[in-house]
Amino acid sequence: MTNINPASFIGGSTGEWKVTRMQTITGEPLLPVEYIHIKLEHISPKNALWVLRGTNNHTRYSERTEVDAMKARQEGLGRSHATHAALIPIRKNAAWWAMAQDERRKIFEEESQHIAMSMEYLPAIARRLYHSRDLGEPFDFLTWFEFAPGHEGAFNALVAKLRASREWEFVDREIDIRLIKNES
């Protein structure tokens, strides 16, 4: 969690993840793509329909007890049985970012239970959060999830609960992209 982990999600006609559905939840859509290719660096490839960049590094809201509880339960990305994935880019509105740290934390966890709720879905759902806001990207976060086909229902339930939370009142752009691993 202490390293800088950059990533570029490249939407186009090739890639190791095949798009099965793109759903615009809020705000402006993204152009439809067939595949997403992930490069673990910040790049601007020429042949892509779009590219979304982010950096995974330190936690922004989690406290020590929460970090330890998550680490004890979570599993990493790249599990062979986790052939389903979701890429959900999210942007929050100006009212969210105008809040101080304590106000954002209160809505994030004490009111919306973002961490506690997500914890119930560990280790079935593996996740990684990429931060994009400092990069001047169109989204603030790129959330990435990997799970076995049998856990898709559970993942849908988690996403529905988060979208019904107070925190999500501040989300003004969200695209839900579902993928399966491209074994060819």
| Residues that bind its own copies in the complex, under the rule CB under 8 A | 1-2, 4, 6, 42, 54-55, 57-64, 66-67, 94, 97-103, 105, 131-136
Cβ at position 8, least distance to its own copies in Å? 12
| Between 81 and 133, CB nearer to its own copies | 133
Cβ at position 157, least distance to its own copies in Å? 27
Cβ at position 168, least distance to its own copies in Å? 18
| Between 3 and 80, CB nearer to its own copies | 3
Dihedral angle at the C-alpha atoms of 90, 93, 98, 102, nearest 10 degrees?
A: -50
| Between 168 and 170, CB nearer to its own copies | 170
Is the distance from CB of 69 to CB of 119 less than 8 angstroms? yes
Largest Cα–Cα separation, the chain: 48
Element spanning 115, H or E: helix 114-119
Token duo for residue 90: 């999210």
Cβ at position 136, least distance to its own copies in Å? 6
Spatial distance between the Cα atoms of 123 and 147, rounded to a whole number of angstroms: 9
Spatial distance between the Cα atoms of 32 and 55, rounded to a whole number of angstroms: 24
| Between 98 and 160, CB nearer to its own copies | 98
